Structure 1
Amino acid sequence: MELDARKLRILKAVIDEYVLSAAPVGSRSISRRSGLNLSSATIRNEMADLEELGYLEQPHTSAGRVPSDKAYRLYVDSMMRRSRLSEDEVRLIRRYFDRRIDGVEMVMQQTAQALSEVTQYTAMVLPPVLELNRLRHIQLVPLMEGRALLVVVTDTGFARDAVIRVPEHMRVDELEKLSRLLTARLYDCRMDQVAERIQGELGAELRERRAFLSQVAETIERQMTPDARSVELSGATNMLHYPEYSDMAKARSFLAAVEGRDALYGMLKRASQVEFCITIGAENDLAPLQDCSVVTATYRIGELPVGSFGVIGPTRMNYSKVVSVLEYMRRSLGEVLSNYIEEDE
């Protein structure tokens, strides 16, 4: 059933009030504060209808009502207007982005910190995919016998490392020589072409080390795609400030879910397919997040979408503000990354 204009106005007033107060909303409160020019009795009847339609819920201990996930979905899809960031909010964000940048990983950390501070929710950032980065350095660092640390550095400041097996009797000086050769031959090669070149031309040239080079190539290929460990997280404990998470068991469950990062990585990977994504309450697959909303956005380097970031907050979050913050920050983040790459070249 499509809601008429009066029901929509009352529902929006309930949502606005509940976002601010976190307390169940009564008809008298809406009558006094909303400017709807409707009697408390009329509002009460309309709220009863909205409850029957699934847009409002009544907690057992209260005479007031709270919005349902269905109400928030309608609000986000049809009623929300993006808000304008305050000068203080813009200044806070710029304070993070105007700092001296020492590598892209530092940018990811600052982005997560700025986002959690300005929204007061939990922020998460997935770093750029590395396929279109260019290789700057490969180093094979000897460890214990039979092991070496493979370190790969790209033109955007990303460094990735992994422990790999080394053939028996492969000397330290041979590892150093191979590091120099790989760096010289693959310098400025796009990362999505590195593995193919190692296994192809270099494997044919160094046949006696073909199996080892194949292992190097496969490891680099895995390193190109961010994994759960690369998710930058900030403000996980911000959620404990909201009354929805005053229950310690619920709070612990939430913290365990986000600090493990696997769930965040999955959400951010899926979100990277669209400009903006908002999932509300039970729309989230993970049980500890089904009392939360997740808002994510992609960011770009030039015209190319390269990563995603977002926030997790209570379902009564200030959606308008969050979307406006993400819109501003995705542009700022893209500019910072583009400038960093240009300066490094």
Structure 2
Amino acid sequence: MADVLIQSVTKRYGTVEVVPSLNLEIPEGSFTVLVGPSGCGKSTLLRMIAGLETVSDGKIFIGGTDITHTAPSQRGVAMVFQSYALYPHMSVAENIGFGLRLAGMGKSEMEGRVREAADILQLGPLLDRKPKQLSGGQRQRVAIGRAIVRKPKVFLFDEPLSNLDAALRAQMRVELSELHERLGSTMVYVTHDQVEAMTMADQIVVLNKGHIEQVGAPMHLYNAPATPFVAGFIGSPKMNFLQGPKPWASAPQGALIGIRPEHITLSQTGGQWPATVRHVEHLGGETLVHLDSECVGSLTVKVTGDLSAQAGTTLHASPRPEMLHVFTDGQRVSA
């Protein structure tokens, strides 16, 4: 395992600059997640680390070695893609060991590494099966096994769970987190799903139009988002941004005020902001209530359990004052 250092890296396609000068440190042994909307540059950055995209300007170091112009196969990285890319005519064991066989590794050592990876990923009983005989989650574990046997310095994941259904994604999030704990390897993971970022990362990098908005631990980004973009992207449902001439009396004039849905209480008898129920989503253990308030505009409120409220009825919403987020000139000034 090794750290990754990105120094003033820029990526241009012709005259179009998709990643402006960017600096980032990925600590050794960390699980770093690059997150952001489509087109923010996260996959491009990952592919530059892998050597699948050239760097227009700047340098990339892995374990202190400049690998900016090093061939992908010589960088000590292994990449897992969104597509499983398994050979349908090969068994699970043959798919996992294929790269080692191409590299000329001896049969005994190759079989040992394949068996070790299979044990880690609970694929031992499936080694003789073909990909068509596997579930989506099992196929993705085979693709991960193909990376593990190479014993790379850095694992790179490019949205590896996006082809799985919701239940499998939840299961694989746990399995990948446990894999990281077991291997202790440096992992860089790309996703547009902030739930994946929050549940798996020890360091999140939020990207927006090629720029880094904020870097930090998941709960730090949740509790102290540096910009309105981070505040709106991290957290589900996303943060409410209050409208109106002055939605909170103590805030600076012209400030943007935010409050998360789970930090608002509802009452039928009284509260800070009278609001009309627009829609109610019952999710079992929690309920999302969508409201319109003349005081602060549209609101989404998350409450525990069931809430009997019909569209068109009036409820009173009250924020927890200590949980308000205040932004001026695009930067957080308080909470």
Length-normalised TM-score, structure 2:
0.27
The structure that has the greater radius of gyration is 1
- Larger proportion of strand: 2
- Larger proportion of helix: 1
Length-normalised TM-score, structure 1:
0.27
